[in-house]
Chains A and B, each alone.
Chain A
């Protein structure tokens, strides 16, 4: 028992833990504690991201947190019988949470508080290093902040991996009375949930990162463009913004610095293309999310024609620790030109799915085997789609590729937002190729023909191949069509949707055949 006889019990409240019954577990624990006369304080923390163990509950004993999982509400009686409030042994006991290898072997920088704190407790946030970055930033000149971000080597985590400091310095030097910071929280790639985890489990870190960005470039307004598919993240972000405003950490005179930064959440409406930055800006302006021609860059003429930062959630959430601990500290992680940490998301048919934040440089195989533990079904892994729906299907012969932007590009793959979707040997790669084209057809903004028409044709051609109609001729046609889309599309949706298709043609040709033949 802890001081005062009340024990802290943690039951996560993020989307995934709730999707597996965490709310029922929380209720059962409260009920059982009341009926047994145990005094507990129930904290609804975020998730640690060890998703195969969710709902993962923790109890704090003498300042150490012990984990149990996965727990169903029907296990709660047994946990009390086993004295879990004093960290007693139980078949689902996992020992001290921080010692679980999956977690212990990570480099949790951006995610340093995720799963540890109550997401909406500003006290918790500050007790764990929160707002140290902003406190540094308000003491610095704009160009000094930008310089630190540049020096850290941070590159955009939304997909394109563009150096963040360079983007910021463009916005800083652009002329404009009004400038904006926009956060791309559209997280449309299948197999990704790192943005959602930040927003649900540590929302203040995103708020702090955006505030630093605003102060760095002289922007007084910020928007978080947040996907409709994340209702809980929308709610938590809105609550957190309200709390930060009341505490003088948003609004006029942020942290008594004399600087102003207002922040607002804008809900998207279910269009994948609105994750592309110019389409996102159109959407924020209240229009159809149709791609804009470039130039001008959003950094020069972005939202409402003003200089605008567009950054991904993880990019912005990495800024506070860079300011707090220094550029060198962050830069020391990683390899080659990929500095810092990557938030890998292990998804799909994987035994130990979850979030792995780790310095760049580990191989794909290490992620899939050491962290992921192989497929969920126990069957051999046949393919991994890396970098979302526009990313290639990676063949097992390429699994020794290190996680590094350039090394991935060299094998025709991409890291993108860090999602790895695992498929076992039962996957039908012909169907996967077809889906890539189907998805492009559904999500095309319609501005250019290679994408709008090409994707529809792509589905038809694949259907003919799978249906046994002139297989050799249609395979040639499919490759030509892919080339046309790659070369002729205005943006990366049409320009990259052929990559998964081509990867199937190149590495899994045995599946692009007439069915039943």
Chain B
């Protein structure tokens, strides 16, 4: 499958980033075995491919939990209590950033602005953004989803 995705994107100009996104969309992360395949198809070195994957914060090399919970740490959210929310989320889920809950349910990731800054603090669960997330609302969202 990785080979098929790689070949599908190979002929586009500047193919590497769209290709890596396609792998991540399909598999949830970019497994290490993808690196030599992608390198070969695009005629790059493995170091180049790995260098790109590690440069970008939102490309992941490890499998995520069933859902990814992104918590905004940026200033507009800070102004409305994001620091407290961060402490609360870590305690509630029992994980730090870049970790997955023991039941495999959530991976907690920091993010720096979701463009929801007029209704902060904000979190995103997979592709859906939630606004004005108080600790109480956080608990409801985490229970509900």
Chain A residues in the interface with B (C-beta under 8 A): 15-16, 18-20, 51-52, 54, 187-193, 195-196, 228-232, 266-272, 283-289, 304, 345-350, 353-355, 376, 385, 389, 419, 421-424, 427, 431-432, 435, 439, 442-443
> Which residues of B (7-39) have their CB < 8 Å from a CB of A?
13-18, 20-21
Chain B: number of interface residues, binned into ranges = 35 or more
Complex contacts, B58 vs chain A, CB 8 Å: 228-229, 269-270
Interface centre among B16, B55, B79, B122 (most CB of A within 10 A): B79
CB within 8 A of A20: which of B15, B70, B79, B132?
B132
Inter-chain contact A286/B15, CB cutoff 8 Å = yes
Inter-chain contact B74/A389, CB cutoff 8 Å = yes
CA–CA, A54 to B80, complex, Å?
18
CB distance from B67 to the nearest CB of A (A): 14
Task: Return the 5 tightest CB-CB contacts between A and B, nearest first.
Answer: A353-B118, A270-B58, A286-B16, A348-B79, A269-B56
Inter-chain contact B119/A348, CB cutoff 8 Å = no
CB distance from B13 to the nearest CB of A (A): 7
Inter-chain contact A286/B17, CB cutoff 8 Å = yes
CB within 8 A of B119: which of A20, A188, A229?
A20
CA–CA, A192 to B78, complex, Å?
14
Inter-chain contact B75/A385, CB cutoff 8 Å = yes
Inter-chain contact A348/B75, CB cutoff 8 Å = yes
Inter-chain contact A15/B116, CB cutoff 8 Å = yes
Assuming the A-B contacts A15-B129, A20-B132, A266-B18, are A349 and B79 also in contact, with contact meaning beta carbons closer than 8 angstroms in the complex? yes
> Which residues of B (84-131) have their CB < 8 Å from a CB of A?
111-120, 122, 124, 127-131
CA–CA, A442 to B14, complex, Å?
25
Complex contacts, B51 vs chain A, CB 8 Å: 288
22 pairs, A vs B, C-beta closer than 8 Å: A16-B115, A16-B131, A18-B129, A19-B130, A190-B76, A190-B117, A191-B74, A192-B113, A192-B115, A193-B116, A229-B113, A266-B18, A270-B57, A270-B58, A284-B14, A287-B16, A289-B55, A304-B14, A345-B118, A419-B76, A427-B79, A431-B83
Given contacts A190-B112, A190-B113, A421-B75, 12 further A-B contacts (CB under 8 A): A54-B119, A193-B116, A230-B115, A232-B129, A270-B111, A345-B118, A348-B120, A353-B119, A389-B75, A421-B117, A431-B83, A439-B112
Inter-chain contact B118/A193, CB cutoff 8 Å = yes
CB distance from B24 to the nearest CB of A (A): 9
Closest residue of chain A to B111, judged by CB? A229
CA–CA, A345 to B51, complex, Å?
36
Inter-chain contact A51/B115, CB cutoff 8 Å = no
Closest residue of chain A to B114, judged by CB? A229
Complex contacts, A228 vs chain B, CB 8 Å: 58
Complex contacts, B55 vs chain A, CB 8 Å: 271, 288-289
CA–CA, A114 to B15, complex, Å?
33
CB distance from A268 to the nearest CB of B (A): 8
Inter-chain contact B79/A192, CB cutoff 8 Å = no
Assuming the A-B contacts A189-B113, A190-B74, A286-B16, are A346 and B79 also in contact, with contact meaning beta carbons closer than 8 angstroms in the complex? no
Complex contacts, A376 vs chain B, CB 8 Å: 80
Inter-chain contact B118/A347, CB cutoff 8 Å = yes
CB distance from B89 to the nearest CB of A (A): 17
Assuming the A-B contacts A19-B122, A288-B55, A348-B117, are A267 and B75 also in contact, with contact meaning beta carbons closer than 8 angstroms in the complex? no
Assuming the A-B contacts A270-B58, A348-B120, are A229 and B18 also in contact, with contact meaning beta carbons closer than 8 angstroms in the complex? no
Inter-chain contact B117/A345, CB cutoff 8 Å = yes
Closest residue of chain A to B58, judged by CB? A270
Complex contacts, B78 vs chain A, CB 8 Å: 348, 432, 435
Complex contacts, B70 vs chain A, CB 8 Å: 229
Assuming the A-B contacts A52-B118, A345-B117, are A190 and B77 also in contact, with contact meaning beta carbons closer than 8 angstroms in the complex? yes
Closest residue of chain A to B129, judged by CB? A19
Complex contacts, A193 vs chain B, CB 8 Å: 115-118
CB distance from A209 to the nearest CB of B (A): 20
Inter-chain contact B14/A187, CB cutoff 8 Å = no
Inter-chain contact B118/A229, CB cutoff 8 Å = no
Inter-chain contact A191/B117, CB cutoff 8 Å = yes
Inter-chain contact B111/A348, CB cutoff 8 Å = no
CB distance from B71 to the nearest CB of A (A): 12
Inter-chain contact A421/B56, CB cutoff 8 Å = no
CB distance from A137 to the nearest CB of B (A): 26
CB distance from B69 to the nearest CB of A (A): 14
Complex contacts, A269 vs chain B, CB 8 Å: 17, 20-21, 56-59
CA–CA, A127 to B124, complex, Å?
35
Inter-chain contact B75/A188, CB cutoff 8 Å = no
Complex contacts, B80 vs chain A, CB 8 Å: 348-349, 376
Inter-chain contact B75/A19, CB cutoff 8 Å = no
CA–CA, A446 to B118, complex, Å?
32
Interface centre among A267, A270, A350 (most CB of B within 10 A): A270
CA–CA, A450 to B56, complex, Å?
21
In the complex, whether B140 has a CB less than 8 A from a CB of chain A is no
Complex contacts, A442 vs chain B, CB 8 Å: 112
Inter-chain contact B116/A422, CB cutoff 8 Å = no
Assuming the A-B contacts A229-B113, A421-B75, A435-B75, are A286 and B14 also in contact, with contact meaning beta carbons closer than 8 angstroms in the complex? yes
Assuming the A-B contacts A15-B115, A190-B117, A288-B55, are A267 and B129 also in contact, with contact meaning beta carbons closer than 8 angstroms in the complex? no
CA–CA, A51 to B56, complex, Å?
31
Closest residue of chain B to A235, judged by CB? B127
CA–CA, A232 to B113, complex, Å?
14
Complex contacts, B111 vs chain A, CB 8 Å: 229, 270
Complex contacts, A389 vs chain B, CB 8 Å: 74-75
CB within 8 A of A287: which of B52, B59, B116, B129?
B52
